[in-house]
Amino acid sequence: MARAKSAGSSGGRTQDAIALLKADHRQVEEWFEQFEKARNDDRKQELATQICNALKVHTTIEEEIFYPAFLEATDDTDIHHEAEVEHNGAKKLIAEIEGSSPEDEYFDAKVKVLSEMIKHHVKEEEKSGGMFSEARDSDMDLDALGEQLAARKAELEGQSEDDDDVPPPRGQKERSQPGRSMKSGR
Protein backbone atom coordinates (compact mmCIF):
# COMPACT_ATOMS: atom_id res chain seq x y z
CA MET A 1 0.00 0.00 0.00
CA ALA A 2 1.29 3.50 -0.77
CA ARG A 3 2.43 5.74 2.04
CA ALA A 4 -0.18 8.16 3.29
CA LYS A 5 1.80 11.13 2.03
CA SER A 6 -0.21 12.79 -0.71
CA ALA A 7 0.92 15.65 -2.91
CA GLY A 8 -2.67 16.82 -3.25
CA SER A 9 -5.57 15.65 -5.30
CA SER A 10 -4.81 13.56 -8.31
CA GLY A 11 -6.98 13.89 -11.35
CA GLY A 12 -8.85 16.99 -10.33
CA ARG A 13 -11.79 16.95 -7.97
CA THR A 14 -11.00 14.12 -5.52
CA GLN A 15 -9.51 15.14 -2.18
CA ASP A 16 -7.54 12.85 0.05
CA ALA A 17 -9.43 11.63 3.10
CA ILE A 18 -8.01 14.17 5.52
CA ALA A 19 -8.58 17.13 3.18
CA LEU A 20 -12.21 16.03 2.71
CA LEU A 21 -12.81 15.62 6.45
CA LYS A 22 -11.15 18.97 7.21
CA ALA A 23 -13.31 20.67 4.55
CA ASP A 24 -16.37 19.28 6.34
CA HIS A 25 -15.03 20.67 9.63
CA ARG A 26 -14.56 24.15 8.14
CA GLN A 27 -18.07 24.15 6.61
CA VAL A 28 -19.76 23.22 9.90
CA GLU A 29 -17.67 25.77 11.80
CA GLU A 30 -18.88 28.44 9.38
CA TRP A 31 -22.51 27.42 9.90
CA PHE A 32 -22.07 27.49 13.70
CA GLU A 33 -20.72 31.05 13.42
CA GLN A 34 -23.69 32.05 11.26
CA PHE A 35 -26.06 30.48 13.81
CA GLU A 36 -24.53 32.54 16.63
CA LYS A 37 -25.15 35.74 14.64
CA ALA A 38 -28.64 34.79 13.44
CA ARG A 39 -31.56 36.68 14.97
CA ASN A 40 -34.39 35.21 12.90
CA ASP A 41 -35.94 31.91 14.08
CA ASP A 42 -36.39 30.64 10.52
CA ARG A 43 -32.70 31.24 9.80
CA LYS A 44 -31.70 29.54 13.06
CA GLN A 45 -33.85 26.52 12.16
CA GLU A 46 -32.37 26.39 8.66
CA LEU A 47 -28.79 26.54 9.98
CA ALA A 48 -29.44 24.00 12.74
CA THR A 49 -30.89 21.61 10.17
CA GLN A 50 -27.87 22.11 7.86
CA ILE A 51 -25.48 21.55 10.78
CA CYS A 52 -27.26 18.42 12.02
CA ASN A 53 -27.53 16.89 8.54
CA ALA A 54 -23.88 17.62 7.75
CA LEU A 55 -22.73 16.17 11.07
CA LYS A 56 -24.81 13.02 10.61
CA VAL A 57 -23.26 12.45 7.20
CA HIS A 58 -19.76 13.29 8.47
CA THR A 59 -19.96 10.97 11.48
CA THR A 60 -21.34 8.18 9.29
CA ILE A 61 -18.51 8.35 6.76
CA GLU A 62 -15.90 8.58 9.49
CA GLU A 63 -17.35 5.61 11.38
CA GLU A 64 -17.93 3.45 8.30
CA ILE A 65 -14.74 4.17 6.38
CA PHE A 66 -12.10 6.37 8.00
CA TYR A 67 -12.09 5.12 11.60
CA PRO A 68 -11.85 1.40 10.71
CA ALA A 69 -9.00 2.14 8.27
CA PHE A 70 -7.28 4.26 10.92
CA LEU A 71 -7.61 1.56 13.55
CA GLU A 72 -6.33 -1.11 11.17
CA ALA A 73 -3.32 1.00 10.13
CA THR A 74 -2.33 2.33 13.56
CA ASP A 75 -3.82 0.05 16.25
CA ASP A 76 -4.34 3.26 18.26
CA THR A 77 -7.42 2.24 20.21
CA ASP A 78 -7.17 5.22 22.60
CA ILE A 79 -7.63 7.85 19.88
CA HIS A 80 -10.20 5.69 18.06
CA HIS A 81 -12.33 5.02 21.13
CA GLU A 82 -12.26 8.66 22.23
CA ALA A 83 -13.45 9.74 18.77
CA GLU A 84 -16.28 7.18 18.84
CA VAL A 85 -17.41 8.33 22.31
CA GLU A 86 -17.35 11.96 21.16
CA HIS A 87 -19.49 10.99 18.14
CA ASN A 88 -21.99 9.22 20.39
CA GLY A 89 -22.37 12.34 22.56
CA ALA A 90 -22.82 14.56 19.52
CA LYS A 91 -25.44 12.22 18.03
CA LYS A 92 -27.54 12.41 21.18
CA LEU A 93 -27.48 16.20 21.13
CA ILE A 94 -28.20 16.25 17.38
CA ALA A 95 -31.30 14.13 18.01
CA GLU A 96 -32.44 16.59 20.70
CA ILE A 97 -31.90 19.56 18.39
CA GLU A 98 -33.77 17.83 15.57
CA GLY A 99 -36.64 17.12 17.97
CA SER A 100 -37.00 20.76 18.94
CA SER A 101 -37.16 24.19 17.34
CA PRO A 102 -36.14 27.79 18.03
CA GLU A 103 -39.34 28.13 20.08
CA ASP A 104 -37.80 25.71 22.61
CA GLU A 105 -36.10 27.82 25.28
CA TYR A 106 -33.11 25.43 25.25
CA PHE A 107 -32.67 25.34 21.46
CA ASP A 108 -29.90 27.95 21.26
CA ALA A 109 -28.12 26.41 24.24
CA LYS A 110 -28.22 22.96 22.64
CA VAL A 111 -26.75 24.26 19.39
CA LYS A 112 -24.08 26.19 21.35
CA VAL A 113 -23.09 23.09 23.34
CA LEU A 114 -23.01 21.01 20.14
CA SER A 115 -20.71 23.66 18.63
CA GLU A 116 -18.37 23.39 21.62
CA MET A 117 -18.40 19.59 21.45
CA ILE A 118 -17.56 19.67 17.75
CA LYS A 119 -14.80 22.26 18.25
CA HIS A 120 -13.21 19.95 20.83
CA HIS A 121 -13.57 16.91 18.58
CA VAL A 122 -12.07 18.75 15.59
CA LYS A 123 -9.16 19.99 17.70
CA GLU A 124 -8.46 16.43 18.87
CA GLU A 125 -8.52 15.05 15.31
CA GLU A 126 -6.47 17.85 13.74
CA LYS A 127 -3.84 18.52 16.44
CA SER A 128 -0.22 17.44 16.12
CA GLY A 129 -0.13 13.79 17.24
CA GLY A 130 -3.90 13.52 16.75
CA MET A 131 -5.83 11.14 14.53
CA PHE A 132 -5.12 12.95 11.26
CA SER A 133 -1.43 13.32 12.03
CA GLU A 134 -1.15 9.63 12.87
CA ALA A 135 -3.07 8.75 9.71
CA ARG A 136 -0.65 10.78 7.56
CA ASP A 137 2.31 8.98 9.21
CA SER A 138 0.76 5.55 8.66
CA ASP A 139 0.46 3.36 5.59
CA MET A 140 -3.16 4.42 4.98
CA ASP A 141 -3.95 5.12 1.33
CA LEU A 142 -5.54 8.51 1.94
CA ASP A 143 -6.29 9.13 -1.74
CA ALA A 144 -8.28 5.89 -2.07
CA LEU A 145 -10.01 6.58 1.26
CA GLY A 146 -10.85 10.08 0.04
CA GLU A 147 -12.58 8.60 -2.99
CA GLN A 148 -14.54 6.18 -0.79
CA LEU A 149 -15.50 8.94 1.65
CA ALA A 150 -16.61 11.25 -1.18
CA ALA A 151 -18.72 8.53 -2.81
CA ARG A 152 -20.41 7.54 0.46
CA LYS A 153 -20.94 11.20 1.38
CA ALA A 154 -22.64 11.87 -1.96
CA GLU A 155 -24.81 8.80 -1.46
CA LEU A 156 -25.87 9.90 2.03
CA GLU A 157 -26.47 13.50 0.97
CA GLY A 158 -28.65 12.26 -1.89
CA GLN A 159 -30.67 10.18 0.53
CA SER A 160 -31.00 13.00 3.05
CA GLU A 161 -32.53 15.22 0.37
CA ASP A 162 -35.34 12.69 0.16
CA ASP A 163 -35.34 11.78 3.84
CA ASP A 164 -33.95 13.84 6.70
CA ASP A 165 -32.52 10.76 8.44
CA VAL A 166 -29.17 9.30 7.51
CA PRO A 167 -29.47 5.53 7.46
CA PRO A 168 -27.47 3.37 9.85
CA PRO A 169 -24.08 2.22 8.56
CA ARG A 170 -24.25 -0.45 5.87
CA GLY A 171 -22.90 -3.90 6.56
CA GLN A 172 -21.78 -3.13 10.09
CA LYS A 173 -23.07 -4.21 13.42
CA GLU A 174 -24.40 -1.39 15.50
CA ARG A 175 -21.66 -0.12 17.77
CA SER A 176 -22.59 0.82 21.26
CA GLN A 177 -21.14 1.40 24.62
CA PRO A 178 -22.01 -1.15 27.28
CA GLY A 179 -25.59 -0.52 28.34
CA ARG A 180 -26.17 2.11 25.66
CA SER A 181 -28.08 1.83 22.40
CA MET A 182 -27.06 3.90 19.40
CA LYS A 183 -30.68 4.10 18.29
CA SER A 184 -31.94 5.78 21.44
CA GLY A 185 -32.95 9.40 21.36
CA ARG A 186 -35.22 9.30 18.36
Residue 7 lies in a domain: no
The secondary structure of residue 177, as a DSSP letter, is -
H or E stretch including 120? helix 107-126
CB 91 within 8 A of CB 59: yes
pLDDT at 159: 78
Q: What is the rounded distance in angstroms from the CA atom of residue 142 to the CA atom of residue 9? A: 10
| CATH number, position 158 | 1.20.120
Residue 3 lies in a domain: no
Residue 80's domain comprises 17-162
Residue-wise pLDDT for 52-93, tens only, equals 999 999 999 999 999 999 999 999 999 999 999 999 999 999
| Residue of 91, 70, 113 lying closest to 165 (CA atoms) | 91
Residue 118 lies in a domain: yes
Q: What is the rounded distance in angstroms from the CA atom of residue 128 to the CA atom of residue 124? A: 9
Instruction: Read off the pLDDT of each residue in 12-23 and give the average, rounded to a whole number.
Output: 88
